[in-house]
Structure 1
Amino acid sequence: MTDPVMRLKDVTLSLDGNAGVVEILKGITLDVEAGETLGLTGASGSGKSSLLMVMGGLESATSGLISVLGQNLTPMGEDGLARFRRDNMGVVFQSFHLIPTMTALENVALPLELAGEADAFGRAALELEAVGLGARGDHYPSQMSGGEQQRVALARAVVGRPKILLADEPTGNLDAATGAMVMDLLFDLRDKYGATLILVTHAPELASRCDRVVQLRDGQVLSDTLAVAAQ
């Protein structure tokens, strides 16, 4: 049996708030297998987005072990975590997080440029083609619809051929039809590159497309269920 692509053991996250320390995650223990699509669900404030951020090293856990691709993320500093994400992960956010002063092509090419890739713009152009935006490469985010911006964000997330894709409510700012198209594209890109996908969603129809669904409540795992097709 192969080792999981991600392993969390007794992970906690506490943040200082106006009323004192707030416990966001409370002893999360979880394994994610290579190639799996895992849905993280739960009510607003349940900790699902915080858990995704901890998984991606975007938020430092207060305690516990986080191992990704055999690497312990816990002792890594910000620079080390940034390099690890650049080389191994793609992240898609609800609010796109495109750089407004860069064109679509420049946004997609940026991770490759930071990694020192010689053909960053060539690969970025191919990835924009793959999401149906080959003709929009010289357009800025402000000149694009929300759905187009999210497709650019998807292209940026996968251009480095990541082993792990993290998506935090990727359709939250989109209408139903555009959101469905973006989700189809996300799952297609996952299949294309064989990536492990971890998806935060409150939408039952999206959760039902995952191999496995972990439901959180009050910073703890309430349930961990295989999809019917995966059982």
Structure 2
Amino acid sequence: MSDTLLSLSDVSLTLQGNAGPVEILRGITLDVGAGETLGMVGPSGSGKSSLLMVMGGLERATGGRVLALGQDLTALDEDALARLRRTNMGVVFQSFHLIPTMTALENVATPLELAGRQDAFDRAAEELHAVGLGARLDHYPAQLSGGEQQRVALARAAAPRPRLLLADEPTGNLDQTTGEAIMDLLFGLRDRHGSTLVLVTHAPELAARCDRVVRLMDGRIAADEDQRTLRGAAE
């Protein structure tokens, strides 16, 4: 494997529910190499999205250790985590999380402005052109289709040129044709920027495009398949 970009060691996550503590993740150990694409699959409630959130420091592990981009996420405070995400991670959710009072261009440029980039609007326009929205820069989210809104979200995630791109069911709210177009764009962004891509999906065809697929069951890794080896054997 290439240099490890993301490393989880015996990671657990326990949250407090109405009936007491609930174990979400149970002893996850996993390495992801730089430039790798990793798909995470499994039934609802298996811990996929929670694991993705832990990888990005959006949820703090209650046990174990999470190393990402050379940083120990379990030792960083919220401000340090926010700075790390802002410059090194891109996150795409099933829900688009666009600011309704901002245009597509402003939605993509604002995080870059907050990071202090002088070329925020130029880079935002470049990324929107790259996802096929060059003619929609001045449109507000309500004026865009669901697929177009997800394209804006992809452009926003890719604009900082992140080393790590995390995607949680990026095609979950889209019809099949639009979802396939978003899949192509997602992998295209990964190829263009050389990012490491980790995605949660229920779509077998999306998982099949990844280098590796990890299957979760009841908060544990039930299988870890290197699809490059399987594809090589098939050929």
What's the TM-score bracket when you normalise by the shorter of the two chains?
over 0.9
In the TM superposition, what whole-angstrom CA distance separates every residue of 1:9-42 from its partner, at most 9, and x where no partner exists?
0100010001100000001000000000000000
Q: Which of 223, 228, 231 is residue 229 of structure 1 equivalent to?
A: 231
**What secondary structure does 2:171 align onto?**
coil
Residue number in structure 1 paired with 2:27: 27
Runs of 4 or more consecutive aligned structure 1 residues displaced over 2 Å after TM superposition? none
1:211–1:229: 8 Å Cα contact kept in structure 2?
A: no
User: Partner letter of residue 16 of structure 2?
Assistant: D
5+ residue gaps in structure 2? Answer: none
Aligned pairs for 1:111-126 within 5 A = 111-126=111-126
Residue number in structure 1 paired with 2:106: 106
TM-score, length basis structure 2: 0.96
CA gap of 1:230–1:110, structure 2 versus 1, over 3 A, is farther
Residue number in structure 2 paired with 1:141: 141
Say what the alpha-carbon RMSD is for the aligned residues.
1.1
For these two proteins, the number of residue pairs brought into alignment is 231
User: Partner letter of residue 42 of structure 2?
Assistant: G
More divergent stretch after superposition (66-75 vs 144-153): 66-75
Residue number in structure 2 paired with 1:65: 65
Displacement after TM superposition at 1:2 (Å): 5.5
Residue number in structure 2 paired with 1:5: 5
Q: d(CA) in 1 for partners of 2:188 and 2:123?
A: 18
Residue number in structure 2 paired with 1:83: 83
TM-score, length basis structure 1: 0.98
User: Partner letter of residue 117 of structure 2?
Assistant: E
User: Partner letter of residue 77 of structure 2?
Assistant: G
**What secondary structure does 1:118 align onto?**
coil
Aligned pairs for 1:150-189 within 5 A = 150-189=150-189
Displacement after TM superposition at 1:230 (Å): 6.1
1:211–1:230: 8 Å Cα contact kept in structure 2?
A: no
In the TM superposition, what whole-angstrom CA distance separates every residue of 1:89-131 from its partner, at most 9, and x where no partner exists?
0000000111111110001001210110011001101111111
Residue number in structure 1 paired with 2:208: 208
Displacement after TM superposition at 1:3 (Å): 3.8
More divergent stretch after superposition (181-190 vs 68-77): 68-77
CA gap of 1:214–1:230, structure 2 versus 1, over 3 A, is farther
Q: d(CA) in 2 for partners of 1:18 and 1:7?
A: 32
1:92–1:166: 8 Å Cα contact kept in structure 2?
A: yes
User: Partner letter of residue 40 of structure 1?
Assistant: M
In the TM superposition, what whole-angstrom CA distance separates every residue of 1:113-171 from its partner, at most 9, and x where no partner exists?
01100110011011111111011111111111000000000000000000010000000
